Amino acid sequence: MECKKQGEDIHVIPAFYKIDPSQVRKQSGSYHAAFAKHEKDRKVSEEKMQKWKNALYEATNLSGFHSNAYRTESDMIEEIARVVLQKLNHKNYPNDFRGHFISDENCSNIESLLKIESEEVRVIGIWGIGGIGKTTLAAAIFHKVSSHYEDTCFSENMAEETKRHGLNYVYNKLLSKLLKKDLHIDTPKVIPYIVKRRLMNKKVLVVTDDVNTSEGSRVIVTTRDKHVLMGEVVDKIHQVKKMNFQNSLELFSINAFGKTYPKKGYEELSKRAVEYAGNFSADIGTRSLLDKALISITSDGDHVDMHDLIQQMGREVVRQESIENPGQRSRLWNPEEVYDVLTNNRGNGAVEGICLDMTQITYMNLSSNAFRKMSNLRLLAFKSYQDFEIINSVYLPKGLECLHKSLRYFEWDGYPLESLPSTFCSEKLVEFSMPYSNVKKLWHGVQYPKLSHAPNLKFIHMGECESLSFVDPSIFSLPKLSYLDLRGCKPLMSLSSNTWPQSLRELFLEDSGLNEVPPSILHIRNVKAFSFPRLEFITVGECKMLQHISALPPFIQSFDVWNCHSLQTVLSKFND
């Protein structure tokens, strides 16, 4: 109580268990007996005892809990835990958003719209321009009020997730989070009765970020498009207000200098930076993009995710390279522009990268020399973002004649031809991916370029190529090859090689036609994961880096392992 008097940020919540608060206030009953004993023993000074009495009196004037007001002890404990958690969430709220400026006005407006104490279901829309802080604001509200609800779910980047995986995936992910159980519902329009029943008994808080029910539940939706929020579904819309100049300068200073004001000598420069951003510095920072969570890199280093504002800025820079003619830009990603450039042969040496989502176009017929003028093309990716079905909408009726030697990254899901161009040069190639393609041989003879001239190639993905029957031994001489995926290549009956690259880390052959593998595979020292589904006899020795065998094949008769010191798990149906 003394610390509270001194202004420290301390919450005191009295709990009166099987005792009347009036006894505590007046120090009667057992309290009177206890103080009388202290006075008799004289081990505690009168001054200290008076402080105790004052503290007890003050505590009874605070809002707290009385056991008589609850049916059972567990009800009282549950309510105490709920209130304490709520206060802790509120207390810790600023620390979780360091480097961000969260307007009290925006927060209080949304809290009032939520009507937390009401038992009705409410859907609140947060609307504003990109980067103004919609997600940060939604996260702050979520953090602050989540203790009021039985279950909560914060779903970020809904538009991107829906685009990549489909609405059904996002739908199942949301329900699985709320019900704490993996669900596999085939269609969002038909919810199983038992799922409906469980949801009806829950009071939940759901935040869905970037969108292109039991009584008392709340749903918060963030979007840049106000039309998404129009209609009968959303109860109220909150438009996020832009920061004023002073708040923008404060936010900029926090990110740039670690304090709420500019460093001495940088005052004018800081003001100019904020003015340049139009009092809109929610996404300005001088630390690295990683430190500011504007980009993130997966633990394996294979994927980079970036803030959509960074992506938009980069794309606008590229667009400015040639506003009228996309074929003169360094990068192409817009499906309509890719279609126009490739079908009309408008690309030239300026084009360095093409990334096409094939699910976004219906049909694209390319000439054999569609890439001939693109002498600096380093990245070519024709992707299908469907999880279980390859959508190949690109056709080459006259074949493909030219892919330049500058190519470093080549990905073509469902490649329609049986071979690559005879002039294909793999000298600079680092990643090669053609799952679900019609390729028959990899690589052989004049028609199929040898990969022995690909010293930088690290990644080969040919999974589900149901026509692939031959893999040239030159693949196994690649000095940097770390990943080889031949899953689902049913015509592939054997692999012929006397040597295997010591750089190989992952080798996948599930559901291929292999009946045996060459004995030379025993000399692979660094492989961390492999799978051979049709083998009957397996002997693995001296694989120093082998950590995980994903599954023993169903026909296994003998499995012998020695000197594999890093091996941690071997999964088998027989384990059951």
Residue 364's pLDDT is 92
Which pTM value belongs to this model? 0.50
- Please provide residue 219's backbone torsions phi and psi, each rounded to the nearest 5 degrees: -125, 125
- The single-letter DSSP state of residue 269 is H
Helix, strand, coil abundance in the chain, percent, nearest 5: 35, 15, 50
Q: Is the pLDDT of residue 285 over 60?
A: no
Q: Where in the chain is the domain with CATH 3.40.50.300?
A: 100-239
Q: Which residue has the higher pLDDT, 429 or 223?
A: 429
* Joined tokens for residue 568: 């941690």
Residue 6's pLDDT is 63
Q: Is the pLDDT of residue 98 over 60?
A: no
- Mean pLDDT across 123-144: 78
Q: Which residue has the higher pLDDT, 531 or 157?
A: 157
CA neighbor of 134 nearest in space, from 152, 113, 110: 110
Q: Which residue has the higher pLDDT, 514 or 101?
A: 514
DSSP-derived secondary structure for 19-73? S-HHHHHHT-THHHHHHHHHHHHT-S-HHHHHHHHHHHHHHHTS--EEGGGSSSH
Cβ distance 85 to 37 under 8 Å? Answer: no
Q: Is the pLDDT of residue 89 over 60?
A: no
Give Cβ neighbours of residue 304 (< 8 Å, ≥ 6 apart). 295, 296, 297, 298
Share of the chain above pLDDT 70, in %: 72
Q: Is the pLDDT of residue 99 over 50?
A: no
Cβ distance 427 to 450 under 8 Å? Answer: no
Give Cβ neighbours of residue 545 (< 8 Å, ≥ 6 apart). 505, 525, 526, 527, 528, 566
For domain 100-239, which CATH number applies: 3.40.1440.10, 3.40.50.300, 1.20.1300.10, 3.30.230.30?
3.40.50.300
Side-chain-side CA neighbours of residue 549 (13 Å): 19
Highest mean pLDDT among 2-6, 41-45, 291-295, 388-392: 41-45
Q: Where are the alpha helices (DSSP H) in 193-259?
A: 193-200, 245-257
**Mean pLDDT over all residues of the chain?**
76
- Mean pLDDT across 451-463: 81
Residue 296's pLDDT is 72
Q: Is the pLDDT of residue 291 over 70?
A: no
What are the tens digits of pLDDT across the range 493-518? Answer: 888 777 777 788 788 877 777 766 66
332 pLDDT band (50/70/90 cuts)? very high
β-pair partners for 434: none
Cβ distance 469 to 493 under 8 Å? Answer: yes
- Return the SS3 of 14: coil
Q: How far apart are CA 219 and CA 300, in angstroms?
A: 34
Highest mean pLDDT among 18-22, 200-204, 292-296: 18-22
Highest mean pLDDT among 77-81, 291-295, 322-326: 322-326
Angle at 130 between CA 123 and CA 270, to 5 degrees: 130
568 pLDDT band (50/70/90 cuts)? confident
Strands 379-383, 394-395: pairing is: unpaired
Give Cβ neighbours of residue 572 (< 8 Å, ≥ 6 apart). 551, 552, 556
CA–centroid distance for 192 within its chain = 28
CA neighbor of 306 nearest in space, from 318, 315, 293, 316: 293
Write the class of the CATH domain 305-512.
alpha beta
CB atoms within 10 A of CB 73: 11
Residue 93's pLDDT is 44
Q: Is the pLDDT of residue 91 over 60?
A: no
Highest mean pLDDT among 45-59, 79-93, 290-304: 45-59
- Mean pLDDT across 474-496: 84
β-pair partners for 127: 223, 239
CA neighbor of 437 nearest in space, from 420, 457, 421, 413: 413
Considering Cα of 243, then 246, then 249, then 255, what sign does the dihedral take? negative
Q: Which residues of 353-377 are buried (b: 16+ CB within 10 A; e: fewer)?
A: bbbbbbbeeeebebbeebbebbeeb
Residue 251's pLDDT is 78
Give Cβ neighbours of residue 410 (< 8 Å, ≥ 6 apart). 380, 381, 403, 429, 431, 432, 433, 434
Q: Is the pLDDT of residue 480 over 80?
A: yes
CA neighbor of 368 nearest in space, from 401, 329, 335: 401
131 pLDDT band (50/70/90 cuts)? low
Q: Is the pLDDT of residue 449 over 60?
A: no
CATH number listed for the domain at residues 2-83? 3.40.50.10140
Residue 573's pLDDT is 54
Q: Which long-range contacts (CB under 8 A, 24 or more apart) does 398-402 make?
A: 398/367, 398/368, 399/368, 400/366, 400/368, 400/370, 400/371, 401/368, 401/369, 401/372, 402/368, 402/369, 402/371, 402/372
DSSP-derived secondary structure for 57-116? HHHHTS--EEGGGSSSHHHHHHHHHHHHHHHHHHHHGGGGGTT----HHHHHHHHHHHTT
Alpha carbon separation from 540 to 112, 530, 533, 566 (Å, rounded):
65, 11, 15, 13
Cβ distance 203 to 150 under 8 Å? Answer: yes
Highest mean pLDDT among 122-136, 252-266, 396-410: 396-410
Highest mean pLDDT among 196-200, 266-270, 447-451: 266-270
Q: Is the pLDDT of residue 95 over 50?
A: no
What are the tens digits of pLDDT across the range 108-128? Answer: 888 888 887 777 778 888 887
- Return the SS3 of 217: coil
Q: Where in the chain is the domain with CATH 3.80.10.10?
A: 305-512
